[in-house]
Chains A and B, each alone.
Chain A
Amino acid sequence: MTFEIEVNGRMRAVTIERAGSMPARFRVTVDGASRLVDAQRVGDFGVSMLFPESGDASGAVQIAPLSGGGELLGHIGGRTARVVVNGQRTRRAGADTVAAHGEQAIAAPMPGRVVRVLVGAGDAVQARQPLVVVEAMKMENELRSPKAGRVKNVAVSAGTSVEAGRVLVVVE
């Protein structure tokens, strides 16, 4: 069985086959390189792996969907990476990981209050340039442009209370 796995934007083809009669042994091929893996599911999201051909090295990973979009987050030693299996990505994950094209609407990720609007219609903006500051969860949060482009319109002003999903700025 072959899976296309994307980790932090890099795609790998991973083929899994049972190896011999031991139930937990797999022959795993990543981009053509093959290795033996002793794999055990642990809990709902955990995978414990041993690599018998690499000095019995142990690797424990959690692959869990993020709340909301269903985007997968891989956890390894306290650090995380976006994981996409067979191209099953959500709209939000797609917008974040693939270079954003065309018109992009920047929406409030949570209910809050617009504290500052940092751009006006017609302004040229850089990728990741802060556009709007929204106060939510007692913090001021900068919402940034997903791409370089021009501000098409600004739908809110300072002081506006916004619901999650409300479009704040459109960048084209």
Chain B
Amino acid sequence: MKVLIANRGEIAVRIIRACRELGLPTVAVYSDCDRGARHVRDADQAVHVGPSPAVESYLRIDRLIDAARRTGADAVHPGYGFLAENAAFASACRDAGLTFIGPSPDAIALMGSKTAARAVAMRAGVPVVPGTDAPLASDTSDDEIARAAARIGYPVIVKAVAGGGGKGMRDVEYPADLRDAVRTARSEAGSAFGDTSVYLERRLARPRHVEVQLLGDHHGTVIPFVERECSIQRRHQKVVEESPSLAVDARLRERITRAAAAVAASAGYTNAGTIEFLLDEDGSFYFLEMNARLQVEHPVTEMVTSIDLVHWQIRIARGERLAIDPARAATPQGHAIECRIYAEDPDEGFLPSPGLIRGVRAASGPGIRNDGGVASGYTVPVFYDSMIAKLIAWAENRREAVARLSRALAEYEVLGIRTTIPFFLWLVRQQEFLDGRFDTTYLDRLLASRKGESFSELTDGDEERLAIAAALDAWFRATAGPSASAPRAGGWKSVAREEALR
């Protein structure tokens, strides 16, 4: 099997690593701006698929299939994002005689519609959040929508049927705001997914986001894994994930994993997927949606079960039977936490901070896993998601995992761009985080309560050390002579020389 990876960044690197470990040759694809990217260097072969904008490269089904043909690849791994949950891509791979390392096109299409997926869950006997069972067609009258919302009960969320990543979602507190919310959700959904269908769901007050990873083979076996806790979200986007959840005990785990497996089985689901649930304060849980792909946060599951999910994706695609002890998959060994490190400036409202990386020292050491996609000398492009790495800490228990994560974050250096590392160092010191007392609204509320202070909390001593180091740095540059050509503006040298002449 030769595997073409239809993706970029850290997940392409992650998949290449798995292929290497299984002795499989790999083909990377890249756009104009990614020629120097790490996944291109790490793969055995690499094919250019177009200009930098994703619609002209990583989303071009024809060019990806052509790249597989040209290189003799006979399997395709889609990673996450881009075409990972695009049924047309999975079909195109199948039609071209390529093994798609993921679920069937039918399963992708079924779970890709949020209302159809809710119907699957209901058929499997799994509770869903109260909401409209069918999409609200674009000609549904305002009165009809208002009646549906009143039946469900406020507050409600308007959601895109084709949604994902927080796009096409609007919270509605009061009936008066419903009409505008439906309109903006439709327009956002239209531009993001090419589909203006929306539906309504009740918004739970303080839910946790708990999800269940699973694997299904082509012989009828579905194995659910210990849950992941992903309640730390900024604007509906996960930023920290961990496993297990402090809110889930062994009995609840048994119930929620069984429910997840029932939904997957009822959809005829194969390969890796994740069922997302909302967990209410009273311990009841509701099916939210299914992600028909490998997820960003899969490493925390791997860390607490010692099972390599990407290996299994490939083995399942090759027709192998799942040979995993279900008890082992559902029983966490220790605790793992992941932070998504983004090229963003947390002190400027998380504004993207693309650009040239001048140096990277990734954290390492006991219990640390770094899934990175960048290296020194690489320019983080403006065209894609700004995640540059995932830092995962494992330890025997949560308290030690947080301490280890904190240690690793302080070690992590990315020079040349801003990253969210200072934000995470701040977050892991917050009492509610340390206590595990949070829900999906926690981080947005916490951030809203801040008054513009920097996430980098520096003591006078830290600032003085920085000042001394900056002066020494300038001194070294001024006195090193022409051989130590600095890659920065030459202003200091002349200033320093003038000073020296005094």
Contact = CB atoms under 8 A, between A and B. Distances in A.
Q: What size tier do the contact residues of chain A reach?
A: 35 or more
B416 to A, nearest CB: 5
A68 B355 contact: yes
B386 A139 contact: yes
A2 B499 contact: yes
Interface string A28-55: 1010000001010101110101000000
A141 B349 contact: yes
A73 B410 contact: no
B466 interface: yes
A110 B499 contact: no
Contacts of A137: 352, 354, 382-386
A138 B344 CA distance: 12
B471 A81 contact: no
Contact of B409 (A65, A78, A83): A78
A64 B415 contact: yes
A16 B468 CA distance: 9
B65 to A, nearest CB: 24
Interface string B491-502: 110011001100
A39 B351 CA distance: 35
Contacts of A73: 415, 418
Interface SS, B side: mixed
A70 B410 CA distance: 24
A85 B395 CA distance: 42
Interface string A129-144: 0100000111111111
Contact of B356 (A28, A37, A67, A78): A67
A63 B410 contact: no
Given A78-B409, A85-B492, A30 B468 contact: yes
Shortest Cβ-Cβ A-B pairs, 9 listed: A67-B355, A79-B456, A14-B471, A61-B469, A64-B415, A78-B410, A74-B466, A47-B469, A5-B467
Given A1-B496, A5-B470, A67-B416, 14 more contacts: A1-B499, A3-B475, A14-B470, A41-B476, A45-B358, A45-B473, A59-B465, A70-B488, A78-B412, A79-B457, A81-B466, A85-B474, A136-B352, A138-B384
24 contacts: A7-B463, A7-B466, A7-B467, A26-B472, A28-B471, A30-B464, A43-B359, A44-B359, A45-B359, A61-B466, A61-B469, A63-B473, A65-B488, A66-B353, A67-B356, A67-B379, A76-B466, A81-B462, A88-B489, A111-B382, A137-B354, A137-B385, A139-B386, A164-B382
